[in-house]
Amino acid sequence: MRTAFVIATLVLSSLRVPMNAKSALTVALLDRPIHVNQVNQPAQTSTAIFAIIIAAFLSWALYKGLRARACKIQTGREALIGAIGTAVADVSPEGQVRVLSEFWQARAETGVIRKSARIVVVNMDGLVLVVKPVEEKA
């Protein structure tokens, strides 16, 4: 819009039009003054809402990323030792147990462990778990 005003002013100046005609053309081209720093209210509001949503998402992603780094290892030997499970069959001295939703061959550390008893993994010998019954606290 400002460009049209400048072009119209240059054209009128080159044609030697009197000043009052220039003013009339200016009023016709620009029905209201242009303010460079003026931004409409809905645009400001939507921009602020968008910025808040982006900041919230980035904060959530940062929180989840830092939390994931702080978690202990969830796979392999480290996850199995100390895990609690259930004897699927009698473990005397060897049998099958279910630990962390997986079936494993197991060997009793001492004695006999009955079917459906709760067990805890104390060690691992290759792919065989060494287990003992969970001590019930009274």
pLDDT one-digit tens code per residue, 39-76? 567 778 888 999 999 999 999 999 999 998 887 767 78
Number of domains in the chain: 2
Of 26-30, 37-41, 76-80, give the range with the top mean pLDDT.
Answer: 76-80
- 107 found inside a domain: yes
Mutual angle of helices 2-15 and 19-29, in 10-degree steps: 160
CATH at residue 129: 2.40.50.140
Per-residue pLDDT at 5: 57
Per-residue pLDDT at 78: 83
Q: What is the pTM of this model?
A: 0.49
* DSSP state, residue 136: P
- 59 found inside a domain: no
- 11 found inside a domain: yes
Q: Containing domain of residue 11, as a range?
A: 1-34
Distance CA 11, CA 9 (A): 5
- 52 found inside a domain: no
Quick count: other Cβ atoms within 10 Å of Cβ 128?
A: 13
